[in-house]
Structure 1
Amino acid sequence: MRTSRRILLYGGRLVLPDRLLEPGWVLIQGGIIQEVSAAEKLPSADERLDVSGYYVAPGMLDLHIHGSAGVDVLTATAEDLHRWARFLLRHGVTRFLPTTVPADPTQYAHVRATLAEYVPEQERDPRAASILGVHFEGPIVSPRRPGALNPRDFRTFRSLRDVEDLLTWDIPARPFVRMMTLAPEVEGGLALIEELRRRGFRLAIGHSEASFEICEAAAERGVTHVTHFPNALAPLHHRQLGVVGWALLEERVTLDLIADGHHLDRRMVALVKKVMGTDRLALISDAIAAAGLGDGQYEIWGEMIRVVNGRTENAAGALAGSVITLRDAVRHLLQWGVPLPEAMRMATLVPARVLGVAEAFGALEPGKRADVLVLDEQLRPHLVLRDGEIVRLSEEPPSPVGTP
């Protein structure tokens, strides 16, 4: 429940979308950011928190995450979702989209029922990240680019009957974003895009071998995002540019990347950043249930997935998601030379824009929801505010910014 108390965070290094503001302060009331400033005179507040020596940043949004902490969305109970959400908040994620892989109608029905049970009650616990919606990775994707997805559950689109189990997900929560990753070249793909856009879906191209021309046709119908670029896409060819070439040339397109050090070489990240900048690049974790559990063998999606030195692999040798958190992805970008404001923007404001919720989330700006992180030098959360509710994650403060 949102509090009407005025809360002031002061003295920290504010991570804004385009710069660091140091020292600065953030005033919060009613779960909303009221003011962000570096003025010397501090406003009145019911509770003042001195965060000198720490970063103050917006909460992170993970728009593509299958599981963590032993929980997978396909098999989760409401209690499992709660455990997963608490795990994510401890790692700085305040909002997320549980992401399904292609599944049979019974599995989709289970996920829908579990979300319908859990989501309307989730705001009662400020120590847990909030579910913003659901992301369907497939099932209308290309069997030629399956990645770790099981082609057994792939579909084509001839009529609404082919996707009716994915259309009735009207969970009583606001917002509740429905997103789908699809391959527009699959039979009925462009018609499906038109139908889903009419129903308010956010759409992305992924697991695809679409031609440049089909991508343009998809964009005309409202698709302007690409999932885990350039993984599970046909490689760039000098005569067949495909999704990769289209995404790099089309200025309307946003991309998301898995910066785990396995899905992409750091130089590929640098190349994409050089071509596109970071205003249109989002980070995702693409994490699976093994995230947070360490190396080992895990049964996920009906098969055994090995994790060795943080790299996932299924029996066919394909990468099968990741075991990072979004905080890990941001830290990797910092190690690869990306400035902190840009790296954090890729985990906050850009995902919010992709999901159409940037008016409420993604930046330390007046009028936005007060999802705020207080981070140490290693970006470990010391305090988290979700909708203005303070969650203290450690009794002993971590090393402040600048401490060796």
Structure 2
Amino acid sequence: MEKTFENTILIDGYGNRVRSPAIAITEEGTIASIKEGEAATCTNYLLPGFIDTHIHGAAGADVMDGTAEALKIMQQALPKEGTTGFLATTLTASPEALNKALTEAAKAIKESRGGAGLLGIHLEGPFINVKRAGAQPVQWVQLPDRNLFRQFQETSGKNIRIVTLAPELAGSSGLLEEIKKSGGIASAGHTDAGFAEMEEAVEAGVSQVTHMFNAMRGLHHRDIGTAGAALLKDEIFAELIADGIHVSPAAVSLLYKNKGAEKVLLITDAMRAKSMAEGTYTLGGNKVHVKNGQAVLEDGTLAGSVLKMNEACRNMMSWTGCSIEEIVQMSAVNPARRLGLSDRKGRLSAGMDADFTIVDEDWNVLEVYIGGKAIYRREEQHESHSDSGL
């Protein structure tokens, strides 16, 4: 099967551009070959599908609903913003609620349900610092516990890929050992760790920070804290919610200039109100009011976002002046590499999964393909590409 995309530039994630590409796709849904077509005026971009490694919900559904239907809704909704893969992200909750959510996520990962691929689980909490809890329910926060994590990992079918924790807390060293043993990523988040504590944490296995600048000790000239450590230390990757609400455009630029595209992971940290009307929703049992693109608790605390991945890409490019190749690095290449999936996802070449997103110059999503199949197509654009077999 072959699909030709006229008036389109393919950005492959290796630093190459292919004009008006013809993509041959195998029956297994991988790329057989990519050939360049005739030179033409190109107005659209074909990119590796976005991978969102931190998302709680969308379209009225939430991972913590603990149901197959909630995950299915998310899988069907996310391609509309160009996302072809994601990590189901949990919230601090009772062990019973967490086990229920992990059980359902494990089933969804094992089964092929269509839509965006569920690539694993991001365990955000309960091993966090109450002082930096943010919108996390404080009644279920607890000290790091390697045995409890081991049990969560078993319940998840060994699918927990990222664990957000506060590394300054007692018990974190044992938890970090367990995360490393399981092949997971330890991410410092909802943490009050100072710079010295972050240095120790990096030595112990922390290699990432969760939603940079948010729910962490900020930069001070006598102790540059968690945020300063993330900016300074090359070992650390940084998640970024590029919505202009959680992080200002100036702070986005500061991160980009210090870390470069190679160490930034664009995420949404979205909750169930994404793609829904303004109003009142829930997160972790708490009311969340959504208005003017902001999601806040009753006391004004930010409670996740309603950001879409294509919007994050648009904002990042606008605020930093980065290249579209760097956007691909931050939205697809880096997350695939971090999850150990770079042999299949994050780039476009022979042998890779045929997961790709087509956007116009304004970052509107026109078409999305997962496993070589058209999952989403914007109606007014459905005849813009010639079809020769797919």
TM-score norm. by structure 1 comes to: 0.87
TM-score by length of 2: 0.90
Q: 2 CA distance for matches of 1:344 and 1:400? A: 23
Aligned partner of 2:337 in structure 1 is: 353
Matched to 2:194, the amino acid is S
Equivalent in the alignment of 2:323:
339
Q: Which has the higher helix share?
A: 2
Tell me if the contact between 2:144 and 2:165 (Cα under 8 Å) persists in the aligned partners: no
Q: Which residue of 1 aligns with 2:87?
A: 97
Note if contact 1:60-1:348 (Cα within 8 Å) is conserved in structure 2: yes
CA contact (8 A) 1:105 1:165 kept: no
State which drifts further: 61-70 or 204-213. 204-213
Equivalent residues in 2 for 1:175-186, closer than 5 Å: 176-186=159-169
2:116 counterpart residue number: 129
Greater shift after overlay, 109-118 or 315-324?
109-118
Q: 1:170: Cα distance to partner?
A: 4.5
**1:4-403 matched pairs, under 5 angstroms:** 5-9=1-5, 11-17=7-13, 18=15, 20-29=17-26, 30-38=28-36, 53-121=43-111, 123-125=112-114, 128-157=115-144, 160=147, 162-171=148-157, 176-336=159-319, 337-397=321-381
Question: Displacement of 1:177 after TM fit?
Answer: 4.9
- Partner letter of residue 195 of structure 2? F
Give percent identity, aligned residues only: 33
Displacement, 1:60? Answer: 0.5
Following TM superposition, by how much is the alpha carbon of 1:361 offset from its aligned partner in structure 2, in angstroms?
0.9
The CA deviation at 1:277 is 1.2
Q: Which SS does the other structure have where 1:83 is aligned?
A: helix
Preserved contact between residue 289 and residue 295 of structure 2 (Cα < 8 Å):
yes
CA distance in 2, matches of 1:159, 1:234: 24
Counterpart of 1:209 in 2: which secondary structure? coil
User: Any conservation in 2 of the 1:279–1:350 contact (CA below 8 Å)?
Assistant: yes
Partner AA of 2:286 in structure 1? E
What is the rounded CA distance, in whole Å, between the counterparts of 1:83 and 1:34 in structure 2? 31
RMSD over aligned Cα atoms: 2.5
Q: Distance in 1 between matches of 2:23 and 2:254?
A: 35
**Partners of 1:261 and 1:68 in 2: CA distance:** 19
| Aligned-partner Cα distance in 2 for 1:40–1:399 | 19
Q: Give the Cα separation in 2 of the matches to 1:392 and 1:301.
A: 31
Deviation at 1:238, TM superposition (A): 1.4
1:123-172 deviation per Cα after TM superposition (whole angstroms, max 9, x unaligned): 253xx101001101111111111111122111113561x43541213439
Aligned counterparts of 1:169 and 1:9: Cα–Cα separation in 2: 43
Q: Is the 8 A contact 1:115 1:171 kept in 2?
A: no
- In 2, the alpha carbon distance for the partners of 1:193 and 1:322 equals 28
Change (3 A) 1:192 1:7: same
Decide whether aligned partners of structure 1 residues 55 and 321 sit closer, same or farther in structure 2, where only a CA change above 3 A counts. Answer: same
Query: Which sections of structure 2, spanning at least 5 residues, go unmatched?
Result: 386-390
Secondary structure of 2:245's counterpart equals coil
- Code of the residue aligned with 1:339 in structure 2: it is S
CA shift, 1:274, in A, is: 1.0
Amino acid at match of 2:144: F
Which segments of 5 or more consecutive residues in structure 1 lack a partner in the other structure?
Answer: 42-49
Partners of 2:231 and 2:282 lie apart in 1 by 36
Name the SS of the counterpart of 1:132 in structure 2: strand
Q: What amino acid maps onto 1:264 in structure 2?
A: V
Per the TM alignment, residue 19 of structure 1 is displaced from its structure 2 partner at its CA by 5.7
SS at match of 1:144: helix
CA offset digits 1:50-89 (Å, max 9, x no partner): 9964211111000000001000111142122112111001
Q: 1:216 to 1:21 in 2, by over 3 A?
A: same
Whether the 8 Å contact between 2:283 and 2:303 is mirrored in structure 1 is: no
Q: Is the 8 A contact 2:153 2:160 kept in 1?
A: no
8 Å CA contact 1:65–1:288 kept in 2: the answer is yes
Deviations 1:191-243 (A, max 9, x none): 21011211222211111111223222222232211111011111111121222
Offset of residue 248 of structure 1: 1.4
Q: Distance in 1 between matches of 2:32 and 2:210?
A: 34
User: For residue 33 of structure 1, what is the amino acid of its counterpart?
Assistant: I
Could you tell me how far apart the structure 1 residues matched to 2:146 and 2:57 are?
31
